[in-house]
Structure 1
Amino acid sequence: MKIIKSLLVVSFSILLVSCFGFSNKEENKENMAKVMFTPTRDTEVAYFASGCFWCVEAIFESVTGVEEAVSGYAGGKTLNPTYEKIGTGKTGHAEAVAVYYNPKKISFETLVTVFFGSHNPTTKNGQHPDYGSQYRSIAFYKTANEKKIIENAIKKLSAEEYKRKIVTEVTEFTKFYKAEEHHQDFERRNPNQSYVKAVSVPRLNKFKKKFPELLKKGNH
Protein backbone atom coordinates (compact mmCIF):
# COMPACT_ATOMS: atom_id res chain seq x y z
CA MET A 1 0.00 0.00 0.00
CA LYS A 2 2.83 2.42 0.87
CA ILE A 3 4.49 1.73 -2.50
CA ILE A 4 1.26 2.41 -4.41
CA LYS A 5 0.67 5.59 -2.45
CA SER A 6 4.21 6.80 -3.15
CA LEU A 7 3.82 6.15 -6.87
CA LEU A 8 0.58 8.12 -6.90
CA VAL A 9 2.23 11.06 -5.19
CA VAL A 10 5.14 11.01 -7.65
CA SER A 11 2.77 10.80 -10.63
CA PHE A 12 0.68 13.69 -9.34
CA SER A 13 3.79 15.79 -8.74
CA ILE A 14 5.00 15.18 -12.29
CA LEU A 15 1.61 16.19 -13.65
CA LEU A 16 1.73 19.48 -11.77
CA VAL A 17 5.05 20.44 -13.31
CA SER A 18 4.55 19.10 -16.79
CA CYS A 19 3.89 21.27 -19.83
CA PHE A 20 1.63 18.54 -21.26
CA GLY A 21 -0.24 18.18 -17.95
CA PHE A 22 -2.04 21.47 -18.58
CA SER A 23 -5.82 21.56 -18.45
CA ASN A 24 -7.93 24.30 -20.00
CA LYS A 25 -9.73 24.57 -16.67
CA GLU A 26 -6.53 25.90 -15.10
CA GLU A 27 -6.34 28.81 -17.49
CA ASN A 28 -6.57 32.35 -16.22
CA LYS A 29 -9.47 33.90 -18.12
CA GLU A 30 -8.32 37.42 -17.30
CA ASN A 31 -6.32 39.46 -19.82
CA MET A 32 -7.57 37.27 -22.66
CA ALA A 33 -8.16 40.18 -25.01
CA LYS A 34 -6.13 39.56 -28.14
CA VAL A 35 -3.39 42.06 -28.85
CA MET A 36 -3.17 42.39 -32.61
CA PHE A 37 0.43 42.28 -33.77
CA THR A 38 1.18 43.92 -37.08
CA PRO A 39 4.63 43.25 -38.51
CA THR A 40 6.37 46.20 -40.15
CA ARG A 41 8.23 46.01 -43.43
CA ASP A 42 11.42 45.62 -41.38
CA THR A 43 10.13 42.59 -39.48
CA GLU A 44 11.71 39.19 -40.08
CA VAL A 45 10.87 35.81 -38.53
CA ALA A 46 13.08 33.10 -37.02
CA TYR A 47 11.97 29.73 -35.66
CA PHE A 48 13.28 27.77 -32.70
CA ALA A 49 12.26 24.79 -30.55
CA SER A 50 13.79 24.13 -27.13
CA GLY A 51 11.28 22.49 -24.83
CA CYS A 52 7.92 23.76 -23.66
CA PHE A 53 6.89 26.70 -25.83
CA TRP A 54 5.42 28.58 -22.86
CA CYS A 55 8.98 29.00 -21.57
CA VAL A 56 10.60 29.72 -24.92
CA GLU A 57 8.02 32.33 -25.90
CA ALA A 58 8.50 34.27 -22.64
CA ILE A 59 12.29 34.23 -23.00
CA PHE A 60 12.34 35.63 -26.53
CA GLU A 61 9.72 38.25 -25.72
CA SER A 62 12.00 39.62 -23.01
CA VAL A 63 14.73 40.40 -25.55
CA THR A 64 15.36 43.81 -27.12
CA GLY A 65 14.52 43.85 -30.82
CA VAL A 66 11.97 41.04 -30.59
CA GLU A 67 8.55 42.39 -31.51
CA GLU A 68 6.51 39.25 -30.83
CA ALA A 69 6.90 35.54 -30.20
CA VAL A 70 4.18 33.08 -31.17
CA SER A 71 3.85 29.53 -29.85
CA GLY A 72 3.22 26.77 -32.35
CA TYR A 73 4.37 23.54 -33.96
CA ALA A 74 7.13 22.88 -36.51
CA GLY A 75 9.49 20.19 -37.71
CA GLY A 76 6.90 17.53 -38.55
CA LYS A 77 5.01 16.28 -41.58
CA THR A 78 1.50 15.77 -40.22
CA LEU A 79 -0.96 18.39 -41.47
CA ASN A 80 -2.75 20.65 -38.99
CA PRO A 81 -1.20 19.33 -35.76
CA THR A 82 -2.86 20.07 -32.42
CA TYR A 83 -1.52 20.20 -28.88
CA GLU A 84 -3.07 16.84 -28.08
CA LYS A 85 -1.78 15.20 -31.27
CA ILE A 86 1.82 16.35 -30.94
CA GLY A 87 1.74 15.23 -27.32
CA THR A 88 1.70 11.64 -28.56
CA GLY A 89 5.10 12.17 -30.18
CA LYS A 90 3.78 10.67 -33.42
CA THR A 91 3.31 13.76 -35.61
CA GLY A 92 7.01 14.59 -35.86
CA HIS A 93 6.42 18.14 -34.69
CA ALA A 94 8.11 19.94 -31.84
CA GLU A 95 6.69 22.74 -29.73
CA ALA A 96 8.25 25.74 -31.43
CA VAL A 97 8.20 29.51 -31.39
CA ALA A 98 8.04 31.97 -34.28
CA VAL A 99 10.17 34.96 -33.30
CA TYR A 100 9.26 38.22 -35.03
CA TYR A 101 12.20 40.58 -34.82
CA ASN A 102 13.63 43.78 -36.21
CA PRO A 103 17.06 43.03 -37.76
CA LYS A 104 17.98 46.70 -37.29
CA LYS A 105 17.81 46.13 -33.54
CA ILE A 106 18.85 42.49 -33.16
CA SER A 107 20.65 40.09 -35.47
CA PHE A 108 19.80 36.49 -36.29
CA GLU A 109 23.15 35.60 -34.74
CA THR A 110 22.05 37.12 -31.42
CA LEU A 111 18.77 35.22 -31.58
CA VAL A 112 20.82 32.04 -31.96
CA THR A 113 22.77 33.10 -28.86
CA VAL A 114 19.48 33.51 -26.98
CA PHE A 115 18.35 30.10 -28.20
CA PHE A 116 21.44 28.20 -27.10
CA GLY A 117 21.84 30.29 -23.95
CA SER A 118 18.37 29.52 -22.65
CA HIS A 119 18.31 25.71 -22.72
CA ASN A 120 20.54 22.65 -22.58
CA PRO A 121 21.26 21.61 -26.19
CA THR A 122 22.93 18.36 -25.09
CA THR A 123 19.67 16.88 -23.80
CA LYS A 124 18.10 14.41 -26.23
CA ASN A 125 14.37 14.85 -26.78
CA GLY A 126 13.53 17.13 -23.90
CA GLN A 127 14.19 19.85 -21.40
CA HIS A 128 13.55 18.96 -17.77
CA PRO A 129 10.85 18.17 -16.73
CA ASP A 130 9.41 17.66 -20.24
CA TYR A 131 10.59 14.73 -22.33
CA GLY A 132 9.56 13.38 -25.71
CA SER A 133 10.36 14.22 -29.33
CA GLN A 134 7.92 17.13 -29.17
CA TYR A 135 10.32 18.85 -26.76
CA ARG A 136 13.51 18.32 -28.77
CA SER A 137 15.97 21.08 -29.58
CA ILE A 138 15.76 22.46 -33.13
CA ALA A 139 17.25 25.56 -34.75
CA PHE A 140 15.50 26.24 -38.03
CA TYR A 141 17.13 28.08 -40.92
CA LYS A 142 15.68 29.67 -44.05
CA THR A 143 18.91 30.64 -45.81
CA ALA A 144 22.40 29.23 -46.23
CA ASN A 145 23.76 32.09 -44.14
CA GLU A 146 21.40 31.31 -41.23
CA LYS A 147 22.47 27.66 -41.39
CA LYS A 148 26.12 28.71 -41.26
CA ILE A 149 25.47 30.95 -38.23
CA ILE A 150 23.81 28.08 -36.35
CA GLU A 151 26.54 25.60 -37.23
CA ASN A 152 29.27 28.05 -36.20
CA ALA A 153 27.54 28.57 -32.86
CA ILE A 154 27.44 24.81 -32.29
CA LYS A 155 31.16 24.49 -33.09
CA LYS A 156 32.02 27.31 -30.70
CA LEU A 157 29.88 25.93 -27.87
CA SER A 158 31.22 22.41 -28.42
CA ALA A 159 34.77 23.69 -28.06
CA GLU A 160 34.26 26.11 -25.19
CA GLU A 161 31.22 25.16 -23.10
CA TYR A 162 29.87 21.63 -23.49
CA LYS A 163 31.72 18.36 -22.99
CA ARG A 164 28.69 16.33 -24.04
CA LYS A 165 27.63 16.30 -27.69
CA ILE A 166 25.17 19.01 -28.74
CA VAL A 167 22.12 17.22 -30.16
CA THR A 168 20.28 20.26 -31.51
CA GLU A 169 18.80 19.55 -34.93
CA VAL A 170 19.73 22.08 -37.62
CA THR A 171 16.69 21.92 -39.87
CA GLU A 172 15.55 23.82 -42.93
CA PHE A 173 12.30 25.60 -42.15
CA THR A 174 9.22 24.42 -44.04
CA LYS A 175 6.00 25.09 -42.15
CA PHE A 176 4.88 26.62 -38.85
CA TYR A 177 1.45 26.03 -37.35
CA LYS A 178 0.28 28.52 -34.74
CA ALA A 179 -0.80 26.82 -31.51
CA GLU A 180 -4.25 27.18 -29.98
CA GLU A 181 -5.01 30.65 -28.64
CA HIS A 182 -4.93 29.63 -24.97
CA HIS A 183 -1.23 28.75 -25.36
CA GLN A 184 -0.26 32.24 -26.48
CA ASP A 185 1.40 34.40 -23.79
CA PHE A 186 0.64 31.55 -21.40
CA GLU A 187 3.25 32.46 -18.81
CA ARG A 188 2.15 36.10 -18.63
CA ARG A 189 -1.55 35.24 -18.37
CA ASN A 190 -1.18 32.38 -15.89
CA PRO A 191 1.42 33.48 -13.31
CA ASN A 192 0.00 31.21 -10.60
CA GLN A 193 -0.24 28.05 -12.68
CA SER A 194 1.87 25.28 -11.12
CA TYR A 195 4.14 24.64 -14.12
CA VAL A 196 4.70 28.34 -14.70
CA LYS A 197 5.78 28.88 -11.08
CA ALA A 198 7.93 25.75 -10.89
CA VAL A 199 9.54 25.73 -14.35
CA SER A 200 8.80 28.67 -16.66
CA VAL A 201 9.57 31.56 -14.32
CA PRO A 202 12.81 30.03 -12.96
CA ARG A 203 13.97 29.31 -16.52
CA LEU A 204 13.21 32.89 -17.58
CA ASN A 205 14.96 34.34 -14.53
CA LYS A 206 18.02 32.18 -15.19
CA PHE A 207 18.20 33.57 -18.71
CA LYS A 208 17.78 37.16 -17.50
CA LYS A 209 20.62 36.74 -15.04
CA LYS A 210 22.87 35.30 -17.75
CA PHE A 211 22.12 37.92 -20.42
CA PRO A 212 21.06 41.18 -18.75
CA GLU A 213 22.48 43.19 -21.65
CA LEU A 214 19.94 41.68 -24.06
CA LEU A 215 16.82 42.53 -22.08
CA LYS A 216 14.19 45.12 -22.87
CA LYS A 217 13.82 47.96 -20.40
CA GLY A 218 11.64 46.85 -17.51
CA ASN A 219 12.54 43.17 -17.96
CA HIS A 220 15.58 43.16 -15.67
Structure 2
Amino acid sequence: MKPIIPLLAITLLLSCQNTAQVNKKQQAVITAEPVEVPLKNGMARAYFASGCFWCVEAIFESVKGVEESISGYAGGHTENPTYESSNTGKTGHAEAVEIIYNPKIVSFKTLVDVYFASQNVTQLNGQGPDHGSQYRSIIFYQNKTQKEIILNKKKALAKQLNTKIAAEVYPFQKFWVAESYHQNYERLNPNHPYIKNVSIPRLNKFKAKFPKALLKDKSH
Protein backbone atom coordinates (compact mmCIF):
# COMPACT_ATOMS: atom_id res chain seq x y z
CA MET A 1 0.00 0.00 0.00
CA LYS A 2 1.28 3.46 -0.87
CA PRO A 3 1.92 5.69 2.17
CA ILE A 4 -0.70 8.38 2.77
CA ILE A 5 0.83 11.85 2.45
CA PRO A 6 -0.70 14.34 4.87
CA LEU A 7 -2.74 17.10 3.25
CA LEU A 8 -0.34 19.76 4.59
CA ALA A 9 2.62 18.04 2.93
CA ILE A 10 0.80 17.91 -0.40
CA THR A 11 -0.08 21.59 -0.11
CA LEU A 12 3.54 22.51 0.64
CA LEU A 13 4.79 20.36 -2.24
CA LEU A 14 2.47 21.99 -4.75
CA SER A 15 3.36 25.41 -3.39
CA CYS A 16 7.07 24.71 -3.87
CA GLN A 17 6.49 23.55 -7.42
CA ASN A 18 4.56 26.69 -8.28
CA THR A 19 7.21 28.92 -6.71
CA ALA A 20 9.96 27.13 -8.61
CA GLN A 21 8.20 27.59 -11.92
CA VAL A 22 7.16 31.24 -11.49
CA ASN A 23 9.87 32.92 -9.41
CA LYS A 24 10.90 36.56 -9.80
CA LYS A 25 13.33 35.82 -12.65
CA GLN A 26 10.71 33.80 -14.48
CA GLN A 27 8.09 36.49 -13.97
CA ALA A 28 10.47 38.96 -15.61
CA VAL A 29 10.58 36.71 -18.68
CA ILE A 30 6.79 36.54 -18.86
CA THR A 31 6.37 40.32 -18.66
CA ALA A 32 9.32 41.32 -20.89
CA GLU A 33 9.01 43.14 -24.19
CA PRO A 34 9.03 40.67 -27.09
CA VAL A 35 12.05 40.31 -29.36
CA GLU A 36 11.17 40.35 -33.06
CA VAL A 37 13.30 38.15 -35.31
CA PRO A 38 13.91 39.74 -38.74
CA LEU A 39 13.37 37.90 -42.00
CA LYS A 40 16.44 36.14 -43.36
CA ASN A 41 16.55 35.27 -47.06
CA GLY A 42 12.79 35.79 -47.12
CA MET A 43 12.24 33.29 -44.31
CA ALA A 44 10.49 34.06 -41.03
CA ARG A 45 10.82 32.30 -37.68
CA ALA A 46 8.24 31.27 -35.10
CA TYR A 47 8.58 29.53 -31.75
CA PHE A 48 6.35 26.96 -30.05
CA ALA A 49 6.52 24.56 -27.09
CA SER A 50 4.14 21.61 -26.96
CA GLY A 51 5.57 18.62 -25.15
CA CYS A 52 8.50 16.57 -26.45
CA PHE A 53 10.29 18.46 -29.21
CA TRP A 54 10.86 15.20 -31.12
CA CYS A 55 7.11 15.14 -31.78
CA VAL A 56 6.62 18.83 -32.44
CA GLU A 57 9.54 19.09 -34.86
CA ALA A 58 8.07 16.40 -37.13
CA ILE A 59 4.56 17.88 -37.00
CA PHE A 60 5.58 21.31 -38.24
CA GLU A 61 7.86 19.88 -40.92
CA SER A 62 4.82 18.15 -42.42
CA VAL A 63 3.28 21.55 -43.24
CA LYS A 64 3.72 23.25 -46.61
CA GLY A 65 5.85 26.36 -46.40
CA VAL A 66 7.87 25.14 -43.41
CA GLU A 67 11.48 24.79 -44.48
CA GLU A 68 12.91 23.51 -41.23
CA SER A 69 12.07 22.81 -37.61
CA ILE A 70 14.83 22.99 -35.00
CA SER A 71 14.60 21.52 -31.51
CA GLY A 72 15.70 23.59 -28.54
CA TYR A 73 14.70 25.37 -25.35
CA ALA A 74 12.83 28.62 -24.70
CA GLY A 75 10.76 30.44 -22.12
CA GLY A 76 13.13 30.21 -19.18
CA HIS A 77 15.28 32.51 -17.09
CA THR A 78 18.65 30.71 -17.25
CA GLU A 79 21.49 30.97 -19.76
CA ASN A 80 22.67 28.05 -21.89
CA PRO A 81 20.05 25.45 -20.88
CA THR A 82 20.77 21.81 -21.63
CA TYR A 83 18.58 18.74 -21.88
CA GLU A 84 19.69 17.66 -18.41
CA SER A 85 19.19 21.04 -16.76
CA SER A 86 15.81 21.72 -18.38
CA ASN A 87 14.57 18.33 -17.22
CA THR A 88 14.98 19.44 -13.62
CA GLY A 89 12.18 21.96 -14.13
CA LYS A 90 14.30 24.63 -12.43
CA THR A 91 15.48 26.56 -15.50
CA GLY A 92 12.00 27.77 -16.49
CA HIS A 93 12.62 26.55 -20.03
CA ALA A 94 10.37 24.25 -22.00
CA GLU A 95 11.33 21.98 -24.87
CA ALA A 96 10.54 24.13 -27.89
CA VAL A 97 10.97 24.34 -31.65
CA GLU A 98 12.13 27.09 -33.96
CA ILE A 99 10.06 27.03 -37.15
CA ILE A 100 11.73 28.48 -40.24
CA TYR A 101 8.98 29.18 -42.76
CA ASN A 102 8.11 31.03 -45.93
CA PRO A 103 5.45 33.63 -45.01
CA LYS A 104 4.41 33.78 -48.68
CA ILE A 105 3.32 30.14 -48.46
CA VAL A 106 2.19 29.70 -44.86
CA SER A 107 1.07 32.42 -42.46
CA PHE A 108 1.79 32.75 -38.74
CA LYS A 109 -1.94 32.33 -38.18
CA THR A 110 -1.86 28.94 -39.92
CA LEU A 111 1.13 27.89 -37.81
CA VAL A 112 -0.90 28.77 -34.72
CA ASP A 113 -3.69 26.55 -36.08
CA VAL A 114 -1.14 23.75 -36.55
CA TYR A 115 0.06 24.25 -32.99
CA PHE A 116 -3.35 23.89 -31.38
CA ALA A 117 -4.51 21.12 -33.75
CA SER A 118 -1.53 18.94 -32.84
CA GLN A 119 -1.91 18.76 -29.08
CA ASN A 120 -4.23 18.11 -26.18
CA VAL A 121 -5.12 21.74 -25.54
CA THR A 122 -6.34 21.06 -22.00
CA GLN A 123 -3.31 19.16 -20.69
CA LEU A 124 -1.37 21.21 -18.15
CA ASN A 125 2.41 20.86 -17.80
CA GLY A 126 2.84 18.17 -20.42
CA GLN A 127 1.64 16.37 -23.51
CA GLY A 128 0.67 12.72 -23.62
CA PRO A 129 3.01 10.62 -21.46
CA ASP A 130 5.43 13.50 -20.88
CA HIS A 131 4.83 15.40 -17.65
CA GLY A 132 6.61 18.35 -16.06
CA SER A 133 7.03 22.07 -16.60
CA GLN A 134 9.72 21.39 -19.23
CA TYR A 135 6.96 19.83 -21.36
CA ARG A 136 4.37 22.56 -20.84
CA SER A 137 2.70 24.25 -23.79
CA ILE A 138 3.88 27.78 -24.56
CA ILE A 139 3.23 29.82 -27.66
CA PHE A 140 5.57 32.75 -28.25
CA TYR A 141 4.71 36.08 -29.86
CA GLN A 142 7.15 38.58 -31.37
CA ASN A 143 4.83 41.55 -31.81
CA LYS A 144 1.35 42.85 -31.02
CA THR A 145 -0.22 41.34 -34.14
CA GLN A 146 1.03 37.84 -33.32
CA LYS A 147 -0.15 38.20 -29.72
CA GLU A 148 -3.65 39.13 -30.89
CA ILE A 149 -3.74 36.14 -33.27
CA ILE A 150 -2.77 33.80 -30.42
CA LEU A 151 -5.19 35.25 -27.86
CA ASN A 152 -8.09 35.26 -30.33
CA LYS A 153 -7.41 31.61 -31.17
CA LYS A 154 -7.25 30.65 -27.49
CA LYS A 155 -10.49 32.49 -26.79
CA ALA A 156 -12.27 30.84 -29.72
CA LEU A 157 -11.05 27.38 -28.71
CA ALA A 158 -12.08 27.89 -25.09
CA LYS A 159 -15.57 28.88 -26.22
CA GLN A 160 -15.81 26.06 -28.74
CA LEU A 161 -14.68 23.38 -26.28
CA ASN A 162 -16.16 25.02 -23.19
CA THR A 163 -12.91 24.51 -21.30
CA LYS A 164 -9.73 26.30 -20.26
CA ILE A 165 -6.87 26.18 -22.77
CA ALA A 166 -3.61 25.22 -21.04
CA ALA A 167 -1.11 26.87 -23.38
CA GLU A 168 0.76 29.82 -21.89
CA VAL A 169 1.46 32.92 -24.00
CA TYR A 170 4.97 34.38 -23.68
CA PRO A 171 6.83 37.23 -25.34
CA PHE A 172 9.66 35.69 -27.34
CA GLN A 173 13.09 36.36 -25.84
CA LYS A 174 15.64 33.81 -27.01
CA PHE A 175 15.81 30.33 -28.46
CA TRP A 176 18.57 27.97 -27.41
CA VAL A 177 19.34 25.22 -29.93
CA ALA A 178 19.28 21.74 -28.38
CA GLU A 179 22.04 19.18 -28.54
CA SER A 180 22.78 17.82 -32.02
CA TYR A 181 21.47 14.33 -31.23
CA HIS A 182 17.97 15.78 -30.72
CA GLN A 183 17.76 17.28 -34.21
CA ASN A 184 15.57 15.44 -36.77
CA TYR A 185 15.19 12.71 -34.16
CA GLU A 186 11.94 11.30 -35.49
CA ARG A 187 13.29 11.00 -39.04
CA LEU A 188 16.66 9.55 -38.02
CA ASN A 189 15.33 7.13 -35.39
CA PRO A 190 12.09 5.66 -36.81
CA ASN A 191 12.44 2.44 -34.80
CA HIS A 192 12.92 4.08 -31.42
CA PRO A 193 10.06 2.87 -29.15
CA TYR A 194 9.03 6.43 -28.23
CA ILE A 195 8.98 7.48 -31.88
CA LYS A 196 6.94 4.43 -32.89
CA ASN A 197 4.50 4.57 -30.00
CA VAL A 198 4.14 8.31 -29.31
CA SER A 199 5.64 10.59 -31.98
CA ILE A 200 4.34 8.94 -35.15
CA PRO A 201 0.81 8.32 -33.79
CA ARG A 202 0.65 11.96 -32.67
CA LEU A 203 1.82 13.13 -36.11
CA ASN A 204 -0.68 10.92 -37.93
CA LYS A 205 -3.51 12.01 -35.64
CA PHE A 206 -2.71 15.61 -36.49
CA LYS A 207 -2.57 14.90 -40.23
CA ALA A 208 -5.93 13.13 -40.13
CA LYS A 209 -7.75 16.24 -38.91
CA PHE A 210 -5.74 19.03 -40.58
CA PRO A 211 -6.61 20.19 -44.13
CA LYS A 212 -4.66 18.02 -46.57
CA ALA A 213 -4.15 20.97 -48.91
CA LEU A 214 -1.86 22.50 -46.29
CA LEU A 215 0.25 19.35 -45.80
CA LYS A 216 3.25 18.09 -47.70
CA ASP A 217 2.80 14.88 -49.70
CA LYS A 218 5.20 12.86 -47.52
CA SER A 219 3.40 10.75 -44.93
CA HIS A 220 4.07 7.86 -42.56
Q: Normalising to structure 1: TM-score of the pair? A: 0.80
2:22 alignment counterpart: none
Q: Secondary structure of the residue that 2:72 maps to in structure 1? A: strand
1:70 alignment counterpart: 70
User: For 2:83 and 2:58, how far apart are their aligned partners in 1?
Assistant: 18
Alpha-carbon shift at residue 62 of structure 1 (Å): 0.5
Residues 131-150 of structure 1, C-alpha deviations (whole Å, 9 max, x = no match): 00000010100010000000
2:179 alignment counterpart: 180
1:96 alignment counterpart: 96
Alpha-carbon shift at residue 92 of structure 1 (Å): 0.3
Mapping for residues 36-185 of structure 1, pairs under 5 Å: 41-160=41-160, 162-185=161-184
Alpha-carbon shift at residue 213 of structure 1 (Å): 2.5
The root-mean-square deviation of aligned C-alpha atoms, in Å, is 1.6
Q: Please say if residues 49 and 136 of structure 2, whose CA atoms lie closer than 8 Å, have aligned partners that are also in contact.
A: yes
Deviant stretches of 4+, over 6 Å = none
User: For 1:83 and 1:40, how far apart are their aligned partners in 2?
Assistant: 28
Alpha-carbon shift at residue 158 of structure 1 (Å): 1.0
Q: Please say if residues 62 and 218 of structure 2, whose CA atoms lie closer than 8 Å, have aligned partners that are also in contact.
A: no
Residues 91-117 of structure 1, C-alpha deviations (whole Å, 9 max, x = no match): 100000000000000000000000000
Alpha-carbon shift at residue 41 of structure 1 (Å): 1.8
User: For 1:41 and 1:188, how far apart are their aligned partners in 2?
Assistant: 26
Mapping for residues 7-18 of structure 1, pairs under 5 Å: none
User: For 1:148 and 1:98, how far apart are their aligned partners in 2?
Assistant: 20
User: For 1:132 and 1:40, how far apart are their aligned partners in 2?
Assistant: 34
Q: Normalising to structure 2: TM-score of the pair? A: 0.80
Structure 1, unmatched stretches of 5+, are: 4-38
- Mean CA deviation greater in 204-213 or 193-202: 204-213
User: For 1:194 and 1:111, how far apart are their aligned partners in 2?
Assistant: 28
User: For 1:189 and 1:84, how far apart are their aligned partners in 2?
Assistant: 21
User: For 2:40 and 2:172, how far apart are their aligned partners in 1?
Assistant: 22
1:29 alignment counterpart: none
User: For 1:142 and 1:82, how far apart are their aligned partners in 2?
Assistant: 24
Residues 37-96 of structure 1, C-alpha deviations (whole Å, 9 max, x = no match): xx9521000000000000000000000000000000000011100001101111100000
1:206 alignment counterpart: 205
What is the number of residues matched between the two proteins? 183
1:16 alignment counterpart: none
User: For 1:168 and 1:213, how far apart are their aligned partners in 2?
Assistant: 26
2:12 alignment counterpart: none
Residues 10-52 of structure 1, C-alpha deviations (whole Å, 9 max, x = no match): xxxxxxxxxxxxxxxxxxxxxxxxxxxxx95210000000000
Q: Secondary structure of the residue that 2:100 maps to in structure 1? A: strand
Quick check: 1:196 aligned with 2:190? no
